[in-house]
Structure 1
Amino acid sequence: MEYPAAASLLYLVSIAAQCHENNRDYCRSIGDDSQPPWCLAPAWQQTSALEGVIHAINNPYSTPEDSHRSWLEAKVMAGWVYGEVKDPAAKTHPCMLPYDQLPDEQRAKDRIFLDTVRKMVENLPATELAEPVPPPAFLHHQEERQP
């Protein structure tokens, strides 16, 4: 399957929102009710999903491990560290581990994320595809707004 290098910002945000909601549904199915709906998710969380979508589109053959590595690198750059509890104020997260150290139920989130991106990109109108998509400028300023 061929994947485009990019899509318009509107489509990227729509894909990120769907990825977030799929992740939220999965988390709820395993007893984690901590994920707010997309419309109530803080900017840092929406930005993280959008960055994941951009990475997946620009790296169409990436694996769930690649996706996690990209997420982990972005979190480290933003000052996040491992913690047993996800705490945005303290910037701790229990998934701040190499992919092979994550429990299977956490690895599933990376698979779900990539599957969602790929299915949605596959269904994009051809007129919405472009080469390549740089992250929107506002992404570079989201960490400054994070609590």
Structure 2
Amino acid sequence: MAENNWTPTPLDTSGIELDAGLLTLVEALAENAHAHWARRRFTEGWRRGAERSDIALTHPLLVPYPELPEPEKEYDRELAVETIKVVLSLGYRILPPA
């Protein structure tokens, strides 16, 4: 059991497969998630720094998405993939732009 007697139970999306056409959407969502996170940090007074410091409000990942290390990009991609899978598992359809 998790802390505070709460056991997270996300939707089971293990049976949902994304087709190759959604990979562009995954990357766009991942980049947007990073930009949203960074904008929030900048609004809160954070700036780029060599090390993360909650006291000095510095973070080394306050860089444009293309400059992120690959493991950090993968974190954002996993969030995007899971979001798309949830949307699909709830019965919505995602169509490419015309």
Gaps of 5+ in 2: 1-7, 11-25, 93-98
Cα deviation digits, residues 66-94 of structure 1 (max 9, x gap): 22112111111111111222222322111
Identity %: 27
* Residue in structure 1 matched with residue 86 of structure 2 by the alignment: 120
Q: Which residue of 2 aligns with 1:85?
A: 51
Q: Secondary structure at the match of 2:82?
A: helix
Structure in which a larger fraction of residues adopt helix = 1
Is 2:67 the counterpart of 1:101? yes
* Matching residue within 111, 115, 136 for 2:77: 111
- In structure 2, relative to structure 1, the CA distance for the partners of 1:84 and 1:125 (3 Å cut) is same
Return the offset for 1:65.
1.5
Which structure 2 residues correspond to residues 37-56 of structure 1 after superposition, within 5 A? none
Cα-Cα RMSD:
2.9
Q: Tell me if 1:63 matches 2:26.
A: no
Deviation string, structure 1 residues 30-86 (Cα, Å, up to 9, x no partner): xxxxxxxxxxxxxxxxxxxxxxxxxxxxxx994322221121111111111112222
Gaps of 5+ in 1: 1-13, 19-59, 127-147
Give the distance between the partners of 1:83 and 1:101, measured in 2 at CA.
14
TM-score (norm 2): 0.56
The Cα shift of 1:96 comes to 0.3
The superposition leaves residues 90-115 of structure 1 with CA deviations (integer Å, 9 ceiling, x where unpaired) of 22111100111111121111101111
TM-score, structure 1 length as denominator?
0.39
